[in-house]
Homo-oligomer: A and B are copies of this chain.
Amino acid sequence: MIRVGVVGGTGYTGVELLRLLLRHPGITVSLITSRGEAGKRLDQLFPSLRGACDLAFTDPTKADYSGCEVVFFATPHNVAMREVPDLIKQGIRVVDLSADFRLKDVATWENWYGESHVAPDLCADAIYGLPETHRDAIRSAQLVACPGCYPTAVQLGFLPLLEAGVIDRSQLIASCGSGVSGAGRQAKLGSLLTEAGESLSAYAVAGHRHLPEMEQGLSGIAGAPVNLTFVPHLVPMSRGIHATLFARLTDASSDLQSLFESRYAGEPSVVVLPQGEHPATRNVRGANTCQIAVAQPQSRDTVVVMSVIDNLVKGAAGQAVQAMNLMVGQSETRGLEGVALAP
């Protein structure tokens, strides 16, 4: 059994990570920390864990990670960059679910997050935790920076098109919708059922922190700069991300269905739907899966890709466990075989 620790864990990403880790046959969760909830049992905060978990939160100042092979950070941004360097020095490997190490360009990070990065050197070392593009590097990584939820759905959707070089990189468009859990387990007015329920609205159109991460990733895939317009929407549901992607085809005669099917043939977490089907977020709820469909409406030169994930699983906790499995040499899908919960 591999011993792991979790830093943070009072948010939705945290409880989802625990849902997966507690049932992972090769893992033992040694400790989980929380500044605000130290001493409290986890199942008191999260009654969904009753009967499944006897752990209590540890005060982070008293946390001893020495027996842990891997430590997960399920914290807001700005925490991991302060604590990871010390763990790395101890030889403990880290899977960071926050945004601290996702951007290679430190100045860009500092610009979007409005503060100085205190571990800039680690940004260069961190491996981007998207197995579909960085599988081998993840295996030997000391520090994995897990992708954001929107970036996972968007990159997996554009990936085959950019690798094949069949779209105009200068005007990519991503119109995405997210469930409210993407806003975190925080008492915000805009996340109330009475505000977010029975409504659809865009947000952060002027600029969302996932934009530079997506442009970095897509440029890396394309091997050349890309230009992305990204509009996220708040959708009246708890979980799920749906990315609807648009690009102009440079070669309108490509067999797009085959392109997607062959690119993802061996990928355990990506399912390409048969031509003509539309993915729905409900079909991946709770599962570590991205379902994708591609279409070319009216046979014109605009391609449309639809890509769905559960933002808390393939968009966060599931992807983190997938990375951990690769790091410790387990089967990549171990502990992640749960079938989606529908309805």
Contact = CB atoms under 8 A, between A and B. Distances in A.
Interface of A: 12, 15, 18-19, 22-23, 46-52, 171, 173, 175, 177, 179-181, 185-189, 191-203, 205-207, 211, 227, 229-231, 233, 235-240, 242, 244, 246, 248, 271, 273, 276-287, 289, 291, 293, 295, 297-298, 300, 302, 304, 306, 308, 337-343
A231 to B, nearest CB: 6
Contact of A202 (B236, B239, B244): B244
A139 to B, nearest CB: 23
A302 B240 contact: no
A180 B200 contact: no
Question: Which of A50, A203, A240, A277 has the largest count of B CB atoms less than 10 A from its CB?
Answer: A50
Given A12-B194, A280-B199, A177 B180 contact: no
Given A202-B242, A236-B237, A286-B286, A229 B194 contact: no
B339 A48 contact: yes
Nearest to A287: B48
Given A47-B273, A235-B235, A339-B19, A187 B185 contact: no
Given A273-B47, A341-B286, A192 B189 contact: no
Contacts of A201: 242, 278-282, 306, 308
Contacts of A342: 15, 46, 48
